[in-house]
Amino acid sequence: MNTTVKVKQVRITGHELLEHPLLNKGTAFTQEERDMLGLNGMLPARVETLQEQVERALQTLRAQPDPLAGYVYLRSLMDINETLYYAVVSRDLYGILPLIYTPTVGAGCQQFSHLFRRPRGLFLSMADQDRLDEIFASPRLDAVRCIVVTDGERILGLGDQGTGGMGIPIGKLAIYTACGGIDPATTLPIMLDTGTNNPERLADPLYLGERHERARGAAYDDFIEAFVRAVNKRWPNVLLQWEDFHKNNATRLLEKYRDRLCTFNDDVQGTASIAAGALLAAVRQIGASLTEQRIAILGGGSAGIGIAELIKRTMMQEGLTEAEARRRFYVVGSRGLVTEQTTGLEPFQQAWAQDSAQLGAWTLDRPGPAMLLDVVRNVRPTVLVGVSGQSGAFPEAVIREMARHCERPIVFPLSNPTSCVEALPSDIVEWTEGRAIVATGSPFEPFDYRGTRHYFAQCNNSYIFPGVGLGVIAVGACRISDEMFIAASRAVAELSPAMHEPGGKLLPDLADMRQVSRHVALAVAHQARAEGAMPTMTDRQIAEAIDATQWQPVYQPYALA
């Protein structure tokens, strides 16, 4: 990691310096710096260390009455002193990640207009379409290397939050820095405000976004095209992550632009990658093969199809043909099992439709489409994945039916926030008499059942995207492929404690995310090299580049430029 402390040249002084979150040290400015930078009289007399500031901040954080208050406090700290903010987050990643991202960020997005204090990033409306070059030209954006962009239409399992969706890019980039070590000075959150169809937002007198229904069709596509062109012109080598776009836009925009930008969609590929990583660890834990699994997925949106696609590709790496692998997946949507007779399928869903002729031999609860319980009863899946956004969508009858035919059911209720989880992991353990291997999207505490402690791995995308970003940025990769995400999945699975400890956790501790991200970054960079997607580098050069890229939350000594 890059721990070299260099003298930083600064050009601003006094109050302006204290108002700059990337440069402000607060009470940690030395007396020499206070003399040089015009800060005398502006700060309390005592000069503190960063660690002393961290202790005070943690005391304040722990005194907050609820998670949303903690989220608000941390956002305020980020806007005042980013080095201190990341030092605090790094001190307790396990405890603080749920505050700065899922599940608390969902409430932050819902309350965004009411909690708004200080702008961060860029808010771009369709009225800005012809002045994007002008907006992007600001010298303060010269250092940008990583962008997270949303249009706020599908925030977690909460739906359309309009401009409040900006909480997601801000939170994602905080994780890029806290877990991956991406320099916060090089990150940029962007909100594309194309309106909202959320009646609560439109009726809210304090709502800060565009007050009209969402743009659709050509107008929307033209805006996205103008945005991509302007980004490509301003930052031709930038990493751009699409985040929380509606299923009808997420996959098609990814396919449209993945060869024009170094880009990926975290809901499609990041979610799929950590789900695949957790699944690889789970099947190894029980001594099975990935290619033997039968997988039912509840939720046929971009996340569910993304998971199916990446696991299919991983199965193909392990010897199956594409047709053989595809037959092992059963996607269940809101209207039942997806077949060729299901109407209204998007192009990205059509390839996953099962042949309805096979249902003739099935036993169904009632006439009509096969629902989840029917699928479980007839297919006898070994893996059940939930990305439906529907609380309770894995009822007791479904889990018990699965457990009747599977000695070690693998059940992943991945919807978040917590209010949207398909089933409580403790219930899944009880309904399977302690035999299930469970991973979730939101954090859950361990559960004791009949003398055994069950740990629930959080399939948090934070295991994947910070390392992917770190690897891509460090080696200058020009694109991001699905195979790079498979490499990331395998890298995470390699670190599973369950591989070495009976009953161990399925995924590494969140507190070890810096080390996990480095391991993922190495795997992604090696895959990029194999694909010819980066400059020629040796293994040693790749490792050195990654270590040099990882930013650390420490104060640098200042000199007046």
Binding residues for (S)-malate: 154, 416, 460
Sheet strands side by side (includes 122-125): 122-125, 187-193, 146-150, 239-242, 262-265
**Which member of 71, 85, 86, 101 is catalytic?**
101
Q: How far apart are alpha carbons 86 and 72 in whole angstroms?
A: 15
Contact 326, 373 (CB under 8 A): no
**Which member of 25, 85, 172, 247 is catalytic?**
172
CA distances from 58 to 43, 89, 150 (A): 21, 9, 31
User: Residues with Cβ < 8 Å from 425, sequence gap 6 or more?
Assistant: 413, 438, 440, 444, 447, 454, 456
Asked whether the bond before 103 is cis by omega within 30 degrees of 0, the reply is yes
- What SS3 state is found at 46? coil
Owner of token pair 């992550």: 241
Q: Read off the tokens for 528.
A: 């990029």
Is the CA virtual torsion 10, 12, 13, 15 positive or negative?
A: negative
End-to-end CA distance of the chain: 27
Question: Where do runs of H (alpha helix) occur along 103-166?
Answer: 104-110, 112-115, 132-136
Q: Is 220 labeled as catalytic in the residue annotation?
A: no
Asked whether the bond before 417 is cis by omega within 30 degrees of 0, the reply is yes
Q: Is 172 labeled as catalytic in the residue annotation?
A: yes
Q: How far apart are alpha carbons 424 and 444 in whole angstroms?
A: 9
Residues annotated in a binding site for a divalent metal cation:
243-244, 267
Active site residues: 101, 172
